[in-house]
Amino acid sequence: MDRDLESLLKMIKGKFADRRTELAEISLEETPSSVVVTGRVLDQGTKSTVLQDLSAAQPGKAWVDQMQVMRVDHPQRMNVAVNLTGLYAHPSWLAEMLSQNTYGVQVEILEQKGDWVFVRQPDGYLGWMFRDYLSTHEPGVANHRVCVPMMLVHAQP
């Protein structure tokens, strides 16, 4: 790949550098007649911006779009089924923990890899969660509240 395309790719990726809420893992592959754009992007808006920026920077090139859009019209949603679970940068317990979610929080499933799923939280944060800690069942609704400011505990009656 020539230096112009490398710098163009770097500039475009820089627009989507906040890995907490944005996804633009793209690459360019030159063929004799065109440049193929591959990889994955979060949504259709990101894909459109990438293609517009490429066309504007080098209008004479033929751009072939082979990017995968992760968000779909009717996404699979799951709920956190444990008291607390982490959102990780990579599908591993050893990865950086980006956030935590409590029981009942609904997440959008973008991808599955083994025991892990790549999700989007309600606040837009992206990351990996352990699949077994999620459920398709609706979380239970609390119907009682116990409010006791303190309790006396005695060794004997």
First-residue to last-residue Cα distance in the chain: 81
Report residue 75's pLDDT band, with 50, 70 and 90 as the boundaries: very high
Give 3's pLDDT tier (boundaries 50, 70, 90): confident
* Radius of gyration of the CA atoms of the chain, in A: 22
Q: Which amino acid is at 24?
A: A
The residue type of 99 is: S
Looking at residue 20, the DSSP 8-state letter turns out to be: T
- Specify the pLDDT at position 115: 98
Whether pLDDT at 131 is above 70 = yes
Domains of the chain: which residue ranges? Answer: 3-69, 76-135
Residues 21, 125 contacting (CB under 8 angstroms): yes
Percent of the chain with pLDDT over 90: 78
Q: In whole numbers, what is the pLDDT of the chain averaged over residues?
A: 93
CATH class of 3-69: alpha beta
Instruction: Give the pLDDT of residue 1.
Output: 60
Question: ∠ CA 76-80-81 to the nearest 5 degrees?
Answer: 115
CATH of domain 76-135: 2.30.30.40
